[in-house]
Amino acid sequence: MLSGEKDITAVTFDLWGTLITNNEEGIISTKSQEMYDFFQSINCLIPYQSIKLSIELLIYKIRHVQRKKGRNLSNTEQIEILLNVLDVKLNQNSHKETMLNILQNDNSRFEIIEGVEKLLAELKQRGVRMALICNTTLVPGKILSHNLQKRGLSNYFEVMIFSNEVKYAKPHKDIFLLAADRLKVPITSIVHIGDDYFSDWIGANNAGAKGILLSKLKKHFNDKIAENINDLSI
């Protein structure tokens, strides 16, 4: 599929669900337990299930704002959403900081999806320039970047863009244009690969790039769809 794109000089990738696994249920459960233990320590008796539901709602709201407004929720907004949902008032800033640390702590234990390293290595060998465009939810880009470096994935990318570090989030066209600017290539020469129809496929195409969607619904779309990373030909 990539081999047929004659004018392509760069490829940008989504992260979660495209290059690495997304064990979201496990992440939510771990954060919920940590948050429950924290509230217990300050004599704030909130049921575990209520905390878990509040974190699930927070993630939903983060993604909703990203999709509808093309931006991230600030740290303050995230904490206020949780407190409002739980109907809790905390006067000490240190307590809010503890909550934020729990949310942002990376306990994802992600795995690199089969075939990803082979594809990235082959693209790099061909001289194709590559960038990462990642919408963050709870864990910020600084921590994700560090973990990608430890696993050796960051070595493939000239540019890594995380939505919490810039003004925009996918599907906003400006986050794709920012990648093109940092790569110093025309947006029309970029292929963007991701697994979210709105954030990746629609967003990339609206920006002027060529979107490729990773989806098991391949048969319902056109030739710009791949079932998974191994379905891409370079």
pLDDT of residue 220: 47
Domain shared by 165 and 78, yes or no: no
Q: Residue 163: which CATH number? A: 3.40.50.1000
* Counted domains in the chain: 2
pLDDT of residue 79: 97
Which tens digit of pLDDT belongs to each residue from 51-94?
999 999 999 999 999 999 999 999 999 999 999 999 999 988 99
Query: Of 71, 104, 137, which closes a domain?
Result: 104
Which tens digit of pLDDT belongs to each residue from 138-153?
999 999 999 999 999 9
Domain shared by 100 and 141, yes or no: no
Domain shared by 57 and 125, yes or no: no
pLDDT of residue 225: 63
Q: Residue for token digits 């986050």? A: 175
Q: How far apart are the first and last CA of the chain?
A: 7
- Is the pTM value of this prediction over 0.85? yes
Query: Of 104, 128, 150, which closes a domain?
Result: 104
* Helix, strand, coil abundance in the chain, percent, nearest 5: 55, 10, 35
d(CA 93, CA 98): 9
Domain shared by 59 and 113, yes or no: no
Sign of CA dihedral 11, 133, 27, 69: negative
3 state SS of 193: strand
pLDDT of residue 4: 54
d(CA 122, CA 19): 15
Identify the domain containing residue 148 by its residue range.
Answer: 2-22+109-231
pLDDT of residue 144: 94
Report, as ranges of residue numbers, the positions in the chain whose pLDDT lies below 70.
Answer: 1-7, 108, 216-225, 227-228, 233-234
The rounded radius of gyration (Å) of the Cα atoms in the chain is 19
- Closest C-alpha to 169, from 64, 91, 26, 36: 64
